[in-house]
Amino acid sequence: MRASLIITAAGSSSRFRQSSNSAPSSKPQNSSKIFIELGGVPVLERTLRAFSQMKQVHETIVTVQAGTERAALAWAKKRGLKKMKFISGGKTRAESVFFALKKTSSRNEWVIVHDGARPFVRTDTIKQLCSQAAKHDGILLARQVVPTIKRISKSRDRVEATVDRTQLAEAETPQIVKRKLLLEAYRQVPNAFAFTDESSLVEAMGGKMGVMLHTDWNPKLTHYADYELAEAKMSSGAEFRIGKGYDIHRLVSGRKLWVGGVCIPFEKGSLGHSDGDALLHSITDAILGALGLGDIGDWFSDKNPKYKNIQSTKLLEQVLAAAHKKGWQPHQMDANLILEKPKLGLMKTKIRKSVARLLKLPLEKVSVKARTYEGLPPFGTSEAWAAETLIMMRNHPNPLG
């Protein structure tokens, strides 16, 4: 089988957001649910990796929200996902698939369409589906309907009948169809963009669709509750570790005062080999501590000219990347600043937001508190300032599948 793979990921995620009170902020470039991490791996990456080793797939086209194509491509490159095109989706799912279909190579006889928000589909299931497609014009993955189904009145307050469920199945994806037939369906079937799956378009053309029933877990993450359930499943057995960090810097004139990656207007600044951001240093040290990876001095020697005046955000990013490689990411943190002057006031929120962004954490999992030192030296006399951090790191037992 030679197939083009179409992944639909252009939905607005509006149902997802409406149902979420506190969606995680770990979305790299837009608000789409497909970039949210699940067990430490973005939803879309999980989906794409299910197909990435399949010899049947000769090209991959992903439909994303208009205007996000380039950001999505950059994201894919960064995640090591190769050889895929990202194109703008349409107003409906069917329109998105049509846009992608037009870009597929005529050398591929088949098209596999799969929802980007179904990250748990198994590669062996897809292969099995592929092996059965040729008996029909296409085939889809589906599950037998288990609940008792009622047909109700138009007024929605009366039962009209109990539907015989023995011949009912719920359509899922992947759906595999003959490329030419699907193209033809889009040309001929009236109102094709309103159809909700590929199978129904083929059916409308009189084509014969096969079905493969299964009982695996293949939910579409539509509502926030779906994500929470999936995350709970992925995270069962997660490990947590705690790290503590502390840092102190002299305050001198002629230097800037960076706190948590935010430049604070003040007559004095932080003396240091780097930009002297004691808060970020304490966070970085806390992460290293939690993972038993030494301390910030082991990693970034103040003898090394490479780190002269370096932004501390870079140091933190490097340590976060090392943690991520080992399967760890921040889960929650709490920090104290010991700083007599200036009064941080509203800047505290700005600092907190900056740290949350750097750690890819939702705001409610990041706390930055400030306190003075009752005029006592060295903090109370503004000769120095300090920061201490407690951080909780978590790992994911299921990095991929």
Residue ranges in contact with Mg ion by CB under 5 A: 247, 281
Residue closer to Mg ion (CB basis): 281 or 352: 281
CA–CA separation, 170 vs 197, rounded Å? 12
CB of 100 vs Mg ion, minimal distance in Å: 50
Residue closer to Mg ion (CB basis): 35 or 300: 300
CB of 274 vs Mg ion, minimal distance in Å: 7
DSSP for 283-316 reads HHHHHHHHTT---HHHHS-TT-GGGTT--HHHHH
Structure tokens at 137: 């014009």
CB of 247 vs Mg ion, minimal distance in Å: 4
Residue closer to Mg ion (CB basis): 178 or 281: 281
CB of 281 vs Mg ion, minimal distance in Å: 4
Structure tokens at 334: 């709490």
CB of 83 vs Mg ion, minimal distance in Å: 43
Residue closer to Mg ion (CB basis): 249 or 396: 249
Residue closer to Mg ion (CB basis): 268 or 281: 281
297 dihedral zone (left: phi>0; alpha: psi -120 to 50; beta): alpha
Alpha-carbon separation of residue 113 from 3, 5, 209 (angstroms): 10, 6, 14
3-state secondary structure of 115: strand
Residue closer to Mg ion (CB basis): 114 or 281: 281
**Cβ contact 111:6 at 8 Å:** yes
Ranked by CB distance to Mg ion, the top (closest) residue is 281
CB of 14 vs Mg ion, minimal distance in Å: 44
Residue closer to Mg ion (CB basis): 247 or 340: 247
**Cβ contact 270:250 at 8 Å:** yes
Structure tokens at 106: 């005529």
By CB atoms closer than 10 A (0-12, 13-18, 19+), residue 40 is: buried
Residue closer to Mg ion (CB basis): 277 or 340: 277
Alpha helices in 244-389 (DSSP H): 278-290, 296-299, 312-325, 347-359
Instruction: Kindly report the backbone phi and psi dihedral angles of residue 300, in degrees, each rounded to the nearest multiple of 5, phi listed first.
Output: -130, 85
CA–CA separation, 213 vs 387, rounded Å? 57
CB of 74 vs Mg ion, minimal distance in Å: 32
CB of 289 vs Mg ion, minimal distance in Å: 14
CB of 338 vs Mg ion, minimal distance in Å: 14
Residue closer to Mg ion (CB basis): 16 or 258: 258
Sheet with 84-88, strands from edge to edge, namely 84-88, 57-64, 3-9, 110-115, 169-178, 138-144, 209-213
3-state secondary structure of 68: coil
Residue closer to Mg ion (CB basis): 118 or 281: 281
Instruction: Kindly report the backbone phi and psi dihedral angles of residue 262, in degrees, each rounded to the nearest multiple of 5, phi listed first.
Output: -115, 135
CB of 331 vs Mg ion, minimal distance in Å: 24
By CB atoms closer than 10 A (0-12, 13-18, 19+), residue 10 is: buried
